[in-house]
Structure 1
Amino acid sequence: METVLSKHSAPLVLKGVQKKEEEELLGQATIWKLMLSFMDSFALKAAVELRIADIIDHHGRPISLQTILNNISDAPSPDISFLHRVMRHLVRKNIFSSQQSELNDTLYDLTPASKWLLRDSKSTLAPMILLENHPLHLDPSHYLSHSIREGTKNGSAFFKCHGHEQFDLTGLDPEFNKLFNEGMACTARIVSKAVTSGYKEGFKKIQSLVDVGGGIGGSLSGIVRAYPLIKGINFDLPHVVATAPKYDGITHVGGNMFQSIPKADAVYMKWILHDWSDQECVQILKNCRKAIPEKTGKVIIVDHVLHPQGNGIFEDTGFAFDMMLLTHNGGGKERTEEDWKKLFQQAGFLRYNIININAFPSNIIEAFPI
């Protein structure tokens, strides 16, 4: 039997084997790949913690393994062989690139992917990588089967793991709260740029906009910068807005979206409704409806629309996020268009519109009272 594995991510080609054996081998390979895929994320985390992308970017050219090692701070006894193995893995995953120098030394450079690891860049996913790989965030995943067996009657998997629900824990643990807010803020900057680019007409007639669950104001600040005539209201839990920086044109308001929402021409929500059950989402949407004008108001939702048979570049990410929500937020989930339609009908919104944007989550969903 001849087995040929082409470079990097090309498919495995099996020759000289029966179809049944080939199917078994490919099935085995699929399970191994999924089983160990968590190491991809841990390798990303290591690269962020060691600031490898920043080191390469600072030099402005491809550099050797030894140069990377020499620039890693707080490394009392660095191991170049360990670094080599991590870099080899990340090169295979196209996070970094490698090439041979004239002296036959391997030099490493950035790729379009590794530029998203830069800690000091405005367009970075580094804080989100640190959040997603933190033990407090990871450990509830071990309770996934418990969620299937027991549902959420006795709390989410996150609660079973930590004794607190996720959003309660952010109020009790300042370090986790900071990590969570920084993760949300970095995605907010990326998404805000995609929203202001892909939704230009949508903001033009809005004079006041309330960002429900706006965190420390990252999303709203990007919108108000692009549309300075908008009066922004950043609305979140009191302990969240207490740490929010000052932004021109934005007022921070603490409160509870399940009770009431500040009045405005429009409501903006990024990655909020996917955290909650259908019943809770309907309650939030009803409060949104009360906060906006009946005839001219609208709710602007930035969330993902799942396509079970889709093949978009963020489709797999949407399904992976759905698995995470299953353990972190009890009733939280990613939704199909039909799921969104049902929510709007139950909350009293007669029309909706879906717009694609170039980011994850990759959709803007407009909901109108009339």
Structure 2
Amino acid sequence: METVFSKHDQPTGFKGLNKEEEEDLIGQAECWKIMLSFTDSVAIKAAVELGIADIIDHHGQPISSQKILGNLADAPSPDISFLLRIMRVLVRRKIFSAQKSETGETLYGITPISKWLLRDSKMSLAPMLLLENHPIHINPTHYVSDVIREGTKNGTPFYRCHGYEQFEYTSLKPDYNRLFNEGMACTARIVSKAVIEGYRHGFNQIESLVDVGGGIGGSLSEIVRAYPHIKAINFDLPHVVATAPKYDGITHVGGDMFVSIPKADAIYMKWILHDWSDEHCVKILKNCRKAIPEKTGKVIIVDHVLQPEGNELFDDTGFAFDMMLLSHNSGGKERNEENWKWLFAETGFPRYNIIKIKALPSIIEAYPI
């Protein structure tokens, strides 16, 4: 006998379905939802480009669509019907709030999500959102199935799409390079804040620190500002550190992490290893091992630890990042704990410790003894 569900038992909203019919209908609905999930990013991107969150925030209270429209920059003939449809989606996704005024007018307000879209805020994800939704960034994803069929002999998805690898391409496209740097800078500020707050005991014990792949030293400067006793080296390619500003307590050193790394009590790497294959990471970590003291040294890695069965706050985002790395980097990937454990065993780090912080990545300490 077929099981018939009552309206209280089934999430579909349809009456009289048996279990097979219900599962089939739910499957169809989920397929549609996943298929069109990119449209949420389309709506958020439009909101960031228009500066809607900033407009509402500057007013200090919920405002109408007409007021939003009236405050748009460079909008000679704005279309309110399009705006209303965008706002309808963003309210449904809780990116903005909506309430009725005494006159029945809809007023839009800021939510905990849209606070992260404020372009005028130091702690903003708006630049990263624009980067992740840029055609140069997204288009390589359409080549993933080709690489699955043929391997990487004809290049990564990014190379197949653009004719260059990602880091080469940024040097050829100034606008994309600017967008890329702004995206990296905004996430660096957010993650660095979480690292500094979540690793107090760790930094207090360090006298000298090398930031491998530290760019122009922004992240390291935040650490040294919070822990001024640390003597720090910002280590990156010579042409990168050549443009780095001066910071108190920081020496800029140019070099190649695949050749050697300056010596210090500890090595710091934030979102470096996930860009590289296991073979590359083994070379980097072996050089780290040579650069730190045998008994007291450590490597501090800020990277994601994938949880295959995880259902915590940032778990899904880790898998999304892995998909982008699959499209953009040759061998780059997010790693689970077993992957990290293998890397450490291969490179002379028999002991490690994972510390969760209030951000997307975790801190992973690796010790030589």
Class of the TM-score when normalised by the shorter of the 2 chains: over 0.9
Gaps of 5+ in 1: 5-10
Q: Using the alignment, how far apart are the partners of 1:245 and 1:128 within structure 2?
A: 23
Distance 1:348 1:131 in 2: 37
Q: Secondary structure at the match of 2:14?
A: strand
Give the direction of change, closer, same or farther, for the CA distance of 1:150–1:254 in structure 2 (3 Å limit).
Answer: farther
Partner in structure 2 of residue 323 of structure 1: 323
Counterpart contact for 2:281–2:343, Cα < 8 Å: yes
Structure 1 equivalent of residue 368 of structure 2: 369
Alignment of 1:243-258 (within 5 A): 243-258=243-258
Distance 1:139 1:100, change over 3 A: same
CA RMSD of aligned residues (A): 1.9
Letter in structure 2 aligned against 1:84: L
**Cα deviation, residue 12, structure 1:** 4.4
CA deviations on 1:52-85 (whole Å, 9 max, x unpaired) are 1111110000000011111110111111111111
Q: Which residue number corresponds to residue 196 of structure 1?
A: 196
- Corresponding letter in the other structure for 2:108: Y
Letter of the structure 1 residue corresponding to residue 354 of structure 2: I
Give 1:333 shift.
1.0
- Whichever residue aligns with residue 158 of structure 1, its letter is F
For 2:187 and 2:76, locate their aligned partners in 1 and report how far apart those are by CA, in whole Å: 33
| Deviation at residue 239 of structure 1 after TM alignment | 4.0
Indicate yes or no: 2:270 matched with 1:288: no
Correspondence list, 1:329-340, <5 A = 329-340=329-340
User: Whole-Å Cα distance in 2 between the matches of residues 283 and 334 of structure 1?
Assistant: 18
**Sequence identity, in percent?**
74
Are residues 91 and 19 of structure 1, via their aligned partners in 2, closer, same or farther at CA, if it must alter by over 3 Å?
same
Contact preservation (8 Å) 1:265, 1:298: yes
Alignment of 1:196-275 (within 5 A): 196-275=196-275
Higher alpha-carbon Rg:
2
Structure 2: gaps of 5 or more residues: none
User: Do the aligned residues in 1 keep the contact of 2:5 with 2:18 (CA within 8 Å)?
Assistant: no
The number of equivalent residue pairs is: 363
- 1:33 and 1:239 map into 2 onto residues whose CA distance is 45
Residues 88 and 264 (structure 1 numbering): CA distance in 2 closer, same or farther, change over 3 Å?
A: same
Q: Is 2:21 the partner of 1:21?
A: yes
Q: 1:91 to 1:243 in 2, by over 3 A?
A: farther
TM-score (norm 1): 0.94
Superposition deviation, residue 341 in structure 1: 0.4
Amino acid of the residue matched to residue 321 of structure 1? F
Alignment check: 8 A CA contact 1:238 1:253 kept: yes
Deviation at 1:352, TM superposition (A): 0.6
Partners of 1:199 and 1:13 lie apart in 2 by 48
Tell whether the 8 Å contact from 1:207 to 1:265 is kept in structure 2 after alignment: yes
Note if contact 2:5-2:19 (Cα within 8 Å) is conserved in structure 1.
no
Distance 1:35 1:196, change over 3 A: same
**Matched residue SS, 1:158:** helix
Q: In 2, are the aligned partners of 1:3 and 1:13 still within 8 Å (CA)?
A: no
Distance 1:13 1:287, change over 3 A: farther
